[in-house]
Structure 1
Amino acid sequence: MKSSEDIDVREIRRKLGLNQSQFWSKIGVTQSGGSRYESGRNIPRPVQALLRLVHVEQVDINKVKKDDVDVADYLKATNPELYKTLKKEARAKKKER
């Protein structure tokens, strides 16, 4: 995801048809905190990552387990080509649904 200065979070939220409370609560941010981000406050990297996963990649973070993240991090560090291939295949499969 681009830096918070380069993305328009408000536009993403509006395209999804969500109000601030609905949009931000999915990633554990209060409505008032989300409002500040939408008004230009810098978005911390972990929040940016969650935004990308939940609202762009459409990942249900309630189903993600710590072991899943550990395995992905290990695979990415030890075999980046395989990681990229698997990621592309997963995206293609998701688009088929």
Structure 2
Amino acid sequence: MKNSENFDVREIRRKLGMNQSQFWSKIGVTQSGGSRYESGRNIPRPVQALLRLVHIEQIDINKVKKDDVEVAEYLKATNPDLYKSLKKEAKAKRKERP
């Protein structure tokens, strides 16, 4: 199922070698809910964001703290150029990891 971010969720899950229960439980979605999304039901934006973070960006959301999110939101609102620069730098560092 392709969503508004243009990635095929079923294909990502299959490439990761995960069954629906394993894949969807990492972001708090039931297997049956995930199955509906993979079959064509629209995926809500918050779920899309979690999918991208967990399964594409490979971020362990259990390590993200509320303070991290609040700081990022503040920085994005008050200094968007610095926010974009830091985001680009972080993305480059993630790609360097083995």
Scaled by the length of structure 2, the TM-score of the pair is 0.91
Question: Runs of 5+ in structure 1 lacking a partner?
Answer: none
Identify if the C-alpha distance between structure 1 residues 7 and 95 changes in structure 2 by more than 3 Å, giving closer, same or farther.
closer
1:89 corresponds in structure 2 to 89
- Counterpart residue type for residue 56 of structure 1: I
How far did 1:93 drift? 1.3
Shift of 1:8: 1.6
The alignment yields a C-alpha RMSD, in angstroms, of 1.2
- 2:7 alignment counterpart: 7
Partners of 2:61 and 2:89 in 1: CA distance: 20
The number of residues matched between the two structures is: 95
**Identity over aligned residues, as a percent?**
86
If asked which structure has higher relative contact order (CA below 8 Å, sep 6+), I would say: 1
Amino acid at match of 1:17: G
Q: Deviations over 1:28-81 (max 9, x none)?
A: 000000000000001011100100110111110000001100111111111111
Give, in angstroms, the shift of residue 7 of structure 1.
3.1
Q: Look up the SS of the partner of 1:27 in the other structure.
A: coil
Moved beyond 6 Å, runs of 4+? none
Q: Which residue of 2 aligns with 1:73?
A: 73
Query: What does residue 55 of structure 2 align with?
Result: 55
Write the distance in 1 (CA, Å) between the matches of 2:96 and 2:7: 27
Matched, 1:20 2:15: no
Please state if 1:41 is matched with 2:60: no
TM-score, with structure 1 as normaliser: 0.92
Q: Distance in 2 between matches of 1:8 and 1:95?
A: 21
Given residue 4 of structure 2, which amino acid in structure 1 is its aligned partner? Answer: S
Letter in 2 for 1:3: S
* Aligned mates of 2:16, 2:78 — CA distance in 1: 36
